[in-house]
Amino acid sequence: MNGGALDIAVRTAAFAFLVEQRHVYGQQLPRSVLASGFDFQGRRVPLIGPQGIFKPAVMPDIPLSITTAPEVAGKPRPYEDEQLEDGQIVYRYRGTDPDHRDNLGLRRAMHEQAPLVYLSGVDIGWYVPIFPVYVVAENRGELAFIVQADEVELSMERVSITDDAGRRRYVTRLVQQRLHQEEFRVRVIRAYRVNCAVCRLHGHRELLDAAHILPDGHPKGAPVLPNGLSLCKLHHAAFDTHVIGIRPDYVVEVRKDVLAEIDGPILQHGLQGMDKRRLVLPRRPEQHPDPAFLEERYELFRKAS
């Protein structure tokens, strides 16, 4: 297999691997999975390395991935990558030498329009993979490359934009929105110490969501901790469909018709058993659900009951 064909084959296999892992973990993947990578013709191909610009040994010349480290309180990030208002990603050089081999690799990716994986760190050890992304410009004065996303499943199903530049600008803005949602999820789950606030399921963050108390489109539905609840998949769905409600005093109620049903253990222990249970709350009072938000949402539950 020549260099060009090998490069394409590895990138295609990497994208397929990431799609598969999303089905297991959701949008956020653990660093351990990315570092272990996948097998390609008997060789291990990791997707992340110690440096932000990463080319696995199997690939000929151009990097496979770029990584932005997650923000950690009290600890500066190695490079201050940015997401601009128009959705573009400003990705910093490695070091200050434009001709460092890693920077040369990204410059070649730009010239050849090679698709890359962008790993955006959202929490310690957890990353949201965005792919494919492309290096579309370089700003030597700022020691940075400009990166845009081009996810086909996001772009072509929602809009009809035929030129690459327009499509990528649009998709990159959508990706930025998704990253903000994932960052909200991280903040909420961390505040609740990786617990479901209703059933206390602990430690399985792939089974936990950040539920909005007042929805996204509501005037007060901002993605802030007092408007968020850490809920497992079952209780998130039950909350959204008014099978359960949460009173302003942080007590769970189950809809009366559901309490009256006779069924198997999932209904009995997963839903009926939650009636009159008190929420698990964050340690810090300013992170507790806003009682006014819960009151407004509880009224919708009462109407559904």
Chain-centroid distance, C-alpha 260:
38
- pTM higher than 0.75, yes or no? no
Is 173 found in the same domain as 86?
A: yes
**What pLDDT does 77 receive?**
62
Domain boundary among 125, 157, 186: 186
Is 148 found in the same domain as 100?
A: yes
Is 178 found in the same domain as 52?
A: yes
Is 117 found in the same domain as 67?
A: yes
**What pLDDT does 157 receive?**
42
**What pLDDT does 172 receive?**
66
Domain boundary among 186, 220, 248: 186
Neighbours of 190 (CB within 10 A): 16
Is 99 found in the same domain as 226?
A: no
Q: Which domain holds residue 219?
A: 195-304
**What pLDDT does 159 receive?**
41
Domain boundary among 131, 165, 186: 186
C-beta of residue 230 within 8 angstroms of C-beta of residue 191: yes
Is 32 found in the same domain as 174?
A: yes
**What pLDDT does 219 receive?**
86
Is 274 found in the same domain as 142?
A: no
Whether the link from the prior residue into 219 is cis, omega within 30° of 0, is no
Instruction: Give the amino acid at 261.
Output: E
Q: Which residue carries 């064909």 as its tokens?
A: 5
Is 241 found in the same domain as 158?
A: no
Is 180 found in the same domain as 200?
A: no
The alpha carbon dihedral of 43, 47, 51, 56 has a sign of positive
How many domains does the chain divide into?
2
Angle at CA of residue 119, ends 114 and 125, nearest 5°? 155
Task: pLDDT tens for the chain, 305 residues: list them.
Answer: 666 789 999 999 999 999 999 988 888 899 999 999 999 999 999 999 998 999 999 998 999 999 998 877 666 666 677 766 666 788 999 989 999 999 999 999 999 989 999 998 988 889 999 888 899 999 998 899 999 887 644 433 444 444 566 666 666 666 667 777 888 898 999 999 999 999 999 988 889 999 999 988 788 888 899 999 999 999 999 999 999 999 999 999 999 988 888 877 778 778 888 999 999 999 999 999 999 999 999 999 998 87
The DSSP string of 76-131 is --SS--EE-TTS-EEEEPSSS-TTSHHHHHHHHHHHHT--EEEEEEEETTEEEEEE
**What pLDDT does 165 receive?**
62
Neighbours of 299 (CB within 10 A): 11
Is 148 found in the same domain as 245?
A: no
Is 180 found in the same domain as 45?
A: yes
Is 220 found in the same domain as 163?
A: no
